[in-house]
Amino acid sequence: MRNLKTTLASLMTLALLPTAATAYTVGAPFPGTVTATTYYSSGSFHGAVDLSSPNACGYWGVETAVKASLYWNVTIRTTAKVCYGNGSGNQNEVKHTFANGYTFRQWHFLYVSTTSKDKTCDRCQIGDEGGTGNVTGPHTHMQYDKSGTNSTSWYSGTVKGEYLDRDEVVGTVG
């Protein structure tokens, strides 16, 4: 009986321990090459992953990168086909804010007729590969930030020049 009481007491203390935060896998939103990670080629800080396909602007459908059914806030700043930039702050954006206060963002996609605002989905298409905002060419920018500071630890195994198939792991957030 004593062993049973000790076992039950041990189990009860485990139930009181805080649970670990849920981690979510981030997959490539389309097949392409990683063109930037922590730093740009110039050496300035970037703090995100950029992925670009070898195809023309508007070719690939861009999916939300986080592999989970989450609420996504979609902000469309332009409905034009923009492939090589239209100015800082003019990027189309989709974002999800996690319970830990971090936000996962994707930028630069093109608005298409199936793009809808604010939705809950798992790996849904948000638009086509584009170049809205401050860019030199079409790509998708993926960043994980909190209070204006970008986290770089979520993509530690992803390197510039690496080719990723759609859904191949970029990193882990949450």
What digits encode the pLDDT tens for the residues 61-75? 999 999 999 999 999
Choice between 164 and 115, residue whose per-residue pLDDT is larger:
164
What pLDDT band is residue 6 in, cutting at 50, 70 and 90?
very low
Domain spanning 25-163: CATH 2.70.70? yes
- pLDDT for the residue numbered 138: 97
Instruction: For residue 74, report the phi and psi dihedrals to the nearest 5 degrees.
Output: -105, 125
> Could you give the C-alpha distances from 54 to 58, 62, 70, in angstroms and in order?
11, 14, 29
Whether the pLDDT of residue 77 is over 90: the answer is yes
Virtual torsion, Cα 19, 121, 102, 104, nearest 10 deg: 140
pLDDT number for residue 20: 55
Q: Give pTM, 2 decimals.
A: 0.86
CA distances from 106 to 17, 21, 28, 76 (A): 34, 22, 11, 12
148: left (phi over 0), alpha (psi -120 to 50) or beta: left
Is the Cβ–Cβ distance between 96 and 66 less than 8 Å? Answer: yes
The residue type of 71 is Y
What pLDDT shows up at residue 116? 80
∠ CA 49-53-152 to the nearest 5 degrees? 5
